[in-house]
Structure 1
Amino acid sequence: MSLTEKQRLFVRAYLIDGNGKKAAIAAGYSPNGAEVAASRLLSQVKVQEALAAARLQLVAVSGVTPEWVLSQLQQMATLDIREVVTWQSEATEMGEDTETGEPILNIVNRVRLVDSDQLTAAAAAAITEVSQGKSGLKVKKVNRLEALLAIARILGMFPGQAKAPPKTAQPPAGATPPAPDQPETDAGGWGQLLN
């Protein structure tokens, strides 16, 4: 069974962000009935099969498999901040207390970035911002909790959730997954490590 033109357009749009209503509108369905149309389309076997086939084709072309996604999330969730910055306290003697004769110490806390060319690819992918401002050095990374929750959802670790997705086709021999992009920051998705 072949898809109608609207169904084909729906499948193509749905692959972009998984939003049925948006995909239905992009396929030419009325905005007023787009949610109902999306629900109906997603329940049709031929649309489900077309989505599955398109996803397999994307995996084959891109090399991005569920296993690769999980490995990227795991690297982001387990980044140790010491891979990115070092810190230490330095004490210097400034003189003697005239009453007790004890040394007066000046304690300075220093934070230093690891040179970017010394970062692992996983550490570099997990860092979203490095900046120096009035309040000092700031390093932002992917939010560990968000990454762990995404892993848990993929693996079906929450009660009532579907189990892990079936294993998909492997990328072609010699294909390498794309280098991870720097994730965009958003209000709910990133945490600040240092101020």
Structure 2
Amino acid sequence: MELAEKQKVFADEYLIDLNATRAYKVAYPRVKKDEVAAVNGSKLLRNTKVAAYIAERMQERQKRTEVTQDRVVRELAAIAFARATDYAEVIGGAVHIKDTSELDDEQVRAIAGIKEGANGIEIKLNDKEKALELLGRHLGMWNDKLDVKGVEGVVIVDDIPKTDNTG
């Protein structure tokens, strides 16, 4: 699969941050307007050869780094489904922090930090709500786009009987 030099530059730049507009402007420096770069970058992403090159390079990176969708989802799930009781328990009215050697790998992954503060040991967990949001997006549970298809106009029906006010 042979790409033109500028297509290869575009694809390699795109792989840095997945920003087609920026990548297009690097590959084609004469283009100054973001709108033009966005449209043409989008067209290049649909080019069969460019898309195949990007997919192949992403696959190589995935193998090399061992960062896969499954691994990311597992990490998010560890954060999203962590419970406070995994890390501390209340015994006789006192809070007891669990020994970290008792935690499994999944529980450890949910920890953002542990420090000794003014009031004792503090355990901070990663953002559970954000992890749930990202998992929901991955699963297609949220639709942030307003779908206005099939919306009809309002029809006002005047069905109030007329009365005779002469009486």
Normalised to the residue count of structure 1, the TM-score between the two structures is 0.59
Tell me, in whole angstroms, the C-alpha distance in 1 between the residues paired with 2:136 and 2:96. 34
**SS state at 1:140 partner:** strand
Aligned residue number for residue 74 of structure 1: 77
Tell me, in whole angstroms, the C-alpha distance in 1 between the residues paired with 2:80 and 2:22. 31
The answer as to 2:107 corresponding to 1:123 is yes
More strand per residue: 1 or 2? 1
Tell me the alpha carbon deviations over residues 137-160 of structure 1, each in whole angstroms, 9 at most, x when there is no partner: 322212111111111111222237
Post-superposition, which runs of at least 4 consecutive aligned residues in structure 1 deviate over 6 A? none
Shift of 1:79: 1.0
Aligned residue number for residue 10 of structure 1: 10
Structure showing greater Rg: 2
**SS state at 2:92 partner:** strand
Tell me, in whole angstroms, the C-alpha distance in 2 between the residues paired with 1:32 and 1:154. 34
CA separation of 1:158 and 1:8: change in aligned 2, threshold 3 A: same
Give the stretch that moved more between structures: 122-131 or 29-38.
29-38
Select the structure with the greater relative contact order (CA < 8 A; seq sep ≥ 6).
1
More helix per residue: 1 or 2? 2
CA separation of 1:27 and 1:140: change in aligned 2, threshold 3 A: farther
The answer as to 2:126 corresponding to 1:142 is yes
Q: Is the 8 A contact 2:20 2:38 kept in 1?
A: yes
Structure 1 residue identity aligned to 2:86 = E
Number of residues of Structure 1 aligned to a counterpart in Structure 2? 142
Q: Is the 8 A contact 1:41 1:47 kept in 2?
A: no
* Percent of residue pairs bearing the same amino acid type: 27
Which residues of structure 1 form unaligned runs of 5+? 91-109, 162-195
Q: Is the 8 A contact 1:29 1:37 kept in 2?
A: no
Aligned residue number for residue 151 of structure 2: none
**SS state at 1:86 partner:** strand
The Cα RMSD (Å) is 2.8
CA separation of 1:130 and 1:8: change in aligned 2, threshold 3 A: same
**SS state at 2:142 partner:** coil
Normalised to the residue count of structure 2, the TM-score between the two structures is 0.67
Tell me the alpha carbon deviations over residues 111-153 of structure 1, each in whole angstroms, 9 at most, x when there is no partner: 3322222221111111111122235432221211111111111
